[in-house]
C-alpha cells in the first residue's frame, strides 16, 4: 500500500467525490474536501478535533459540548493553546513540536489541564495523529478524553502515600517489608531509621538479600532463622528479641515483630514488620540481674539471718528470708 492508499484509509476520510460520501459531510467542516463518518464522530464519547500546527481548531465534534461545555461550532477558529493550563504549556508545546518534526503518521499522547467553560480545570488525555499531508484532513487529528477523576484519585493516593511515608519515617522504630521467595524472606523496603541504628543505608538493606542474616549474632542466629522459616511456612506472626551487629561491630538488641499481610482471598502478599532498638533496656536488665546476683550472694554468705518484710495494716508480711534461717531455727526460708 503506497502513501496515497494510507491517505484514503485514515479515519475513513476520502478524497473520492461520491454522492454517498457527500452525505456524511459534517456541517462544521472548516473547508471543502473534508468528508466524515458523521455518526461515529458525533456520537463518540471522546472529544475529536482537528488542529492546525499553530493550535487553531479546524474541526470540533459535538462531544466538546458534553465534556467541556463549549459549543462545537463556536469553538472552530479558536486557538486551543489559550485554554491550556500555563503550567502544562511547555509539555503540550513539546509534544506538538515532536509530532511536527517527526512527520506523517506520528502519534503522540499528552496529559494536561484544559479550561472548562465554567472556568474549572479538567485533566485531559489526548492522542494526536499527524495528518497534515493528508489533503482530506490537513491537520493533527486529536482524540481527547476527560481523565479528571483518575488524576484526582492518583493525587489522593499520592497524598496518602506521602502522609503515611512521613509517619513511617519519623517514628522511633524501623519499618520493613519483606516478600516471601522460595520459603525465605526478601527485604524490599526498610525505613531510613535503619541507617541511624546500624549505619547501613536502606538501599544496602534491600540490595543485599542476605544482609539481615549475615549480621545476626552467632548465639542468636540459629534460633532466629529457624523461627523465620517456621513463620514463613505457617503464616503465624513473627515476634522475637535478638542481637545483630551494626556496621562498626556494635551489638544491637532488637525487638522484631512482623505480621503477614494477605490479599482479598487470603493469599500471602508480604510481611510488614517493626524493629525497635531495645539495646539500652537489655543492658539495663542485664546490669540489674548482675547486681541482684551480686548482692544476693553477699546477703546469703554473711553469718546472720537477713529478711525483708512488707509493712501492712496488720502483721508484716515476709517477702524474703535468707537461707541462714534454716541453720539457725530449722525452718526453710519458704516455711518461714
3-state secondary structure of 111: strand
Q: What is the pLDDT of residue 70?
A: 96
Q: What is the pLDDT of residue 39?
A: 62
Structural domains in the chain, CATH included, are 3-152 (3.30.450.20), 171-282 (3.30.450.20), 300-336 (no CATH)
For the chain, the first-to-last Cα distance in angstroms comes to 110
Stronger pLDDT, 303 or 30, i.e. the higher one: 303
Question: Which of 4-8, 112-116, 130-134 has the lowest average pLDDT?
Answer: 4-8
Q: Are 333 and 323 in contact (CB under 8 A)?
A: yes
Per-residue CA distances from 187 to 92, 208, 210, 299, 327 (Å): 40, 9, 9, 51, 61
Query: Residues 32-69, buried b or exposed e (16+ Cβ, 10 A)?
Result: eebbbeeeebbeeebbbbbbeeebbbbbbbbbbbebbe
Q: Are 60 and 72 in contact (CB under 8 A)?
A: yes
Q: What is the pLDDT of residue 40?
A: 57
- Asked if pLDDT for residue 75 goes beyond 90, the answer is yes
Mean pLDDT of 240-262: 96
3-state secondary structure of 176: strand
Instruction: Judge residue 232's burial from the number of C-beta atoms within 10 Å of its C-beta, 0-12 exposed, 13-18 middle, 19 or more buried.
Output: buried
Q: What are phi and psi of 303, to 5 degrees?
A: -80, 60
C-alpha cell at 11: 479515519
**CA contacts within 13 A on the Cβ side of 210:** 2
Instruction: Provide CB contacts within 8 A for 87, sequence distance 6+.
Output: 113
C-alpha cell at 294: 551480686
- Evaluated on CA atoms 236, 237, 238, 239, the torsion sign reads negative
Euclidean distance between CA atoms 113 and 125, whole angstroms: 9
Output the pTM of the full model.
Answer: 0.53
Q: Are 252 and 243 in contact (CB under 8 A)?
A: yes
Mean pLDDT of 116-122: 96
State the maximum Cα–Cα separation within the chain, in Å, rounded to a whole number: 128
pLDDT bin (cut points 50, 70, 90) of residue 37 is: low
Instruction: Provide CB contacts within 8 A for 287, sequence distance 6+.
Output: none
- Asked if pLDDT for residue 323 goes beyond 80, the answer is yes
Q: What is the pLDDT of residue 140?
A: 84
DSSP letter, residue 2: -
Amino acid at each position: 500500500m503506497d502513501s496515497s492508499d494510507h491517505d484514503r484509509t485514515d479515519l475513513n476520510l476520502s478524497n473520492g467525490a461520491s454522492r454517498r460520501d457527500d452525505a456524511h459531510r459534517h456541517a462544521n467542516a472548516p473547508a471543502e474536501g473534508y468528508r466524515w463518518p458523521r455518526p461515529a464522530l458525533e456520537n463518540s464519547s471522546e472529544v475529536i478535533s482537528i488542529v492546525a500546527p499553530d493550535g487553531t481548531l479546524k474541526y470540533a465534534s459535538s462531544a466538546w459540548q458534553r465534556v467541556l461545555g463549549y459549543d462545537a461550532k463556536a469553538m472552530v477558529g479558536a486557538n486551543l493553546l489559550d485554554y491550556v493550563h500555563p503550567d502544562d504549556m511547555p509539555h503540550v508545546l513539546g509534544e506538538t513540536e515532536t509530532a511536527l518534526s517527526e512527520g506523517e503518521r506520528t502519534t503522540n499522547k499528552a496529559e494536561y489541564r484544559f479550561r472548562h467553560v465554567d472556568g474549572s480545570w479538567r485533566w485531559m488525555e489526548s492522542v494526536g495523529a499527524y495528518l497534515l499531508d493528508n489533503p482530506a484532513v490537513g491537520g493533527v487529528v486529536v482524540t481527547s478524553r476527560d481523565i479528571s477523576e483518575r488524576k484526582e484519585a492518583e493525587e489522593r493516593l499520592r497524598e496518602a502515600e506521602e502522609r503515611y511515608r512521613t509517619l513511617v519515617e519519623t517514628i522511633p522504630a524501623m519499618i520493613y517489608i519483606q516478600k516471601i521467595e522460595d520459603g525465605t524472606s526478601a527485604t524490599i523496603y526498610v525505613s531510613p531509621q535503619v541507617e541511624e541504628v546500624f549505619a547501613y543505608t536502606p538501599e544496602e538493606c534491600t540490595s543485599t538479600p542476605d544482609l539481615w542474616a549475615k549480621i545476626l549474632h552467632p548465639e542468636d542466629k540459629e534460633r532466629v532463622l529457624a523461627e523465620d522459616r517456621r513463620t514463613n511456612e505457617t503464616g503465624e506472626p513473627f515476634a522475637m528479641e535478638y542481637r545483630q551487629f551494626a556496621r562498626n561491630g556494635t551489638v544491637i538488641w532488637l525487638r522484631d515483630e512482623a505480621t503477614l499481610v494477605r490479599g482479598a482471598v487470603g493469599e500471602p502478599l508480604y510481611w510488614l514488620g517493626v524493629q525497635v532498638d531495645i539495646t539500652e533496656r537489655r543492658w539495663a536488665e542485664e546490669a540489674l540481674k548482675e547486681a541482684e546476683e551480686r548482692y544476693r550472694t553477699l546477703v546469703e554468705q554473711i553469718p546472720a539471718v537477713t529478711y525483708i518484710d512488707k509493712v501492712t495494716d496488720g502483721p508484716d508480711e515476709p517477702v524474703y528470708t535468707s537461707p541462714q534461717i534454716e541453720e539457725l531455727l530449722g525452718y526453710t526460708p519458704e516455711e518461714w
